[in-house]
Amino acid sequence: MTLDGKVALVTGGSRGIGAATAIRLAEDGADVALTYQNNAELAAGVVDRIKALGRRALAIQADSADAAAVVSAVDTAVAEFGRLDVLVNNGGVGFVGPLDQTSLEDIDRVLAVNVRGVYVATQAAARHLGDGGRVITIGSCVSDRVPGPGMSLYAVSKTALLGLTKGLARELGPRGITVNIVHPGPTDTDMNPADGPYAADQRSLTVFDRYGSPSEVAATVSFLARPESKYVTAATVSVDGGHAA
Ligand code: NDP
């Protein structure tokens, strides 16, 4: 097992890409804590699946917009499992809306979850990460190509994470910690179902004319988490089916 003895925290691990990632990291040998916002039952189901793999698991309710809750989630994971090696900043909200119908509340909410929450989680995790530590953030293919109108706020939030990734790769690198960002393309989840109203256009922009699956994104997160990926940092890794081509 490549992640034997490691402890990971995945934000937004109750569904979609986060759930697939939490399970994949456990399959690779890690103990996994995950956060969720509302879906306690789904989070408990992911915990059960991880425990069935023989790994330790813990679900923690923490709204990424609530900085105190985010810090507490990190500290709880460390208290429970004794260490932290991998932070996966996955939890996020989608947003589609035209410029003139986007409110200040919309802006604040999207940035609070998708940007500030990631910053605070990384700040808290960095206090515990040691040599070999990993910060892996789930950005989006919209940082490479915005597929249609109404996506500027979401694109702002995801593209901010590129700056965070590069800046923190410089800052945390001397401690042996890598910081990378994964850009999923259209991925079949509740946020962006493959049979949803925007699906046909997104699918047609991929090379393969299909959506990706959460497990395909999780496989790349797993690769970045491994010890042998220690020279990969400040990288953007697209798992987007060629969406940006
Ligand atoms: P889903 O909507 O399927 O799942 C979202 C997950 O994040 C859930 O576990 C949810 O918890 C959690 N979450 C949502 N809001 C918060 C919050 N405020 N605080 C804590 N947890 C929260 O999304 P995806 O799996 O599709 O997306 C995961 C990440 O991937 C996001 O960052 C998204 O932007 C990104 N992404 C997705 C793409 C796609 O096509 N699906 C493409 C590119 C990027 P709960 O179950 O409790 O609500």
Task: Tell me the whole-structure pTM to 2 decimals.
Answer: 0.98
Cβ–ligand 1 distance for 41 under 6 Å, the answer no
Residue 154: active-site member: yes
Ligand 1: atom nearest CA of 42 is 46
- Please check the confidence at residue 34 and state whether its pLDDT lies above 90: yes
Q: What is the pLDDT of residues 116-148, one digit of tens each?
A: 999 999 999 999 999 999 999 999 999 999 999
Is residue 70's pLDDT more than 80?
yes
Q: Report the nearest-CA residue for atom 32 of ligand 1.
A: 92
Ligand 1 midpoint to CA 17 (Å):
7
pLDDT at 118: 98
Ligand 1 proximity of 140 Cβ (cutoff 6 Å) = yes
CB 212 less than 6 A from any atom of ligand 1: no
Catalytic pick from 154, 198, 211, 231? 154
**pLDDT of amino acid 65:** 98
Confidence of residue 16 (pLDDT cuts 50, 70, 90): very high
CA of 191 to the centre of ligand 1 (A): 7
Atom of ligand 1 nearest to the CA of 13: 9
pLDDT interval class at 223 (50, 70, 90): very high
Cβ(238) – ligand 1 distance below 6 Å:
no
Residue nearest to atom 41 of ligand 1 (CA): 187
Question: How far apart are the C-alpha atoms of 26 and 119, rounded to whole Å?
Answer: 25
Q: What would the mean pLDDT of 167-185 be, rounded to a whole number?
A: 98
Distance 92 CA to ligand 1 centre (A): 4
pLDDT at 109 (0 to 100):
98
> Mean pLDDT, to the nearest integer, of 86-107?
98
Between CA 126 and CA 172 the distance in angstroms is 8
pLDDT value, residue 1: 77
On average, the pLDDT of the chain sits at 98
Domains of the chain listed by start with CATH number: 7-239 (3.40.50.720)
Residue 236 and residue 180: Cα distance in Å, rounded? 6
**Which residues fall within 8 angstroms of residue 23, CB to CB, at 6 or more apart?**
46, 49, 50, 53, 218
Give the atom of ligand 1 at the shortest distance from the alpha carbon of 17. 25
The answer to whether the CB of 159 is under 6 A from ligand 1 is no
pLDDT at position 96: 96
Look up residue 39 and give its amino acid. Answer: N
Angle value at C-alpha 176, between 18 and 63, nearest 5 degrees: 30
233: phi then psi, degrees, rounded to nearest 5: -150, 155
